[in-house]
Amino acid sequence: MMGYMYLAIAIIGEVIATSALKASEGFTKLWPSLLVIAGYGVAFYSLSLVLKTLPVGSAYAIWCGLGIVMISVVAAVLYKQIPDWPAVIGMGLIIAGVMVISLFSKTGGH
């Protein structure tokens, strides 16, 4: 259970960092740049804790998949980068894949 809590923290840290990466404008803006560094630091540290209890393949698939979807939502809200229908369908397939791994795979770490 703690593994999934750390995984959620890792995903949130990555989403914050990646969102701030655009705002940092190539690391020319101080505060967004610091947020990028802190967010990725939290993300990778938390992910390292996840890997103590969950298989690396499953953890990484969930981290990447949910990160992609969450970043797309944040980008749509903050930067008005609205995904088109093929992108939305693709993200739906990513979510479906994460659910299959989490709910049905024996390597999911349950």
Number of domains the chain is built from: 1
Is the Cβ–Cβ distance between 66 and 47 less than 8 Å? no
pLDDT given for residue 109 in this prediction: 54
**What is this structure's pTM?**
0.87
109 located within any domain: no
53 located within any domain: yes
110 located within any domain: no
pLDDT given for residue 36 in this prediction: 98
| 29 DSSP 8-state letter | S
Q: What is the pLDDT of residues 18-38, one digit of tens each?
A: 999 999 999 999 999 999 999
15 located within any domain: yes
34 located within any domain: yes
Is the Cβ–Cβ distance between 105 and 58 less than 8 Å? yes
55 located within any domain: yes
Taking each helix axis from N to C end, the angle separating 56-79 and 85-104, rounded to the nearest 10 degrees, works out to 150
- Cα–Cα distance, 43 to 36 (Å, whole number): 10
38 located within any domain: yes
| 16 DSSP 8-state letter | H
54 located within any domain: yes
Written as tens digits, the pLDDT of the chain (110 aa) is 899 999 999 999 999 999 999 999 999 999 999 999 999 999 999 999 999 999 898 898 899 999 999 999 999 999 999 999 999 999 999 999 888 887 888 775 55
| Domain that residue 89 falls in | 2-104
